[in-house]
Amino acid sequence: MKEKPCVDHDYCVSVLNLIIDGEANELEKTFFNTHVKECLQCSEYYSIDQAIREAIRKKLEKKEAPQDLIHLLRIKFKESTRS
């Protein structure tokens, strides 16, 4: 693995974001998966990014909104669309 700085780090980060968002094409996925095995800087960035996203996922809880809040929001929405 290369220990020198990545010459195309901005591009690699943009491809990583596409991959995470599910918007990368096969060529971009192949490029990144090959590149990250050879580039220490991108490999570390990828590992840190994965750890951060996993920590956020674990902290987030899906909670259902109280029914009275849902009812109030529906009323307010209907009032705002009557104009």
Q: What is the pLDDT of residues 11-61, one digit of tens each?
A: 998 998 898 888 999 999 999 999 988 888 888 988 998 899 889 888 887
- In 10 A of CB 12, how many CB atoms? 20
The pLDDT value given to residue 46 = 87
Query: What mean pLDDT do residues 49-74 have?
Result: 88
Of the chain, the end-to-end C-alpha distance in Å amounts to 63
Number of domains into which the chain is organized: 1
**Is residue 75 included in any domain, yes or no?**
yes
Residue-number span of the structural domain to which 62 is assigned: 9-81
- Residue 1 counted as domain residue: no
What pTM does this model have? 0.60
Amino acid at 14: S
Is pLDDT at 2 greater than 80 in this prediction? no
Residue at 4 is within a domain: no
37 in a structural domain = yes
C-alpha to C-alpha distance for 81 and 83, rounded to whole angstroms: 6
Q: Is residue 32 part of a domain?
A: yes
- Give the pair of three-digit tokens for residue 65: 């909104």
pLDDT band for position 68 (50/70/90)?
very high
Contact 38, 1 (CB under 8 A): yes
pLDDT at 34: 92
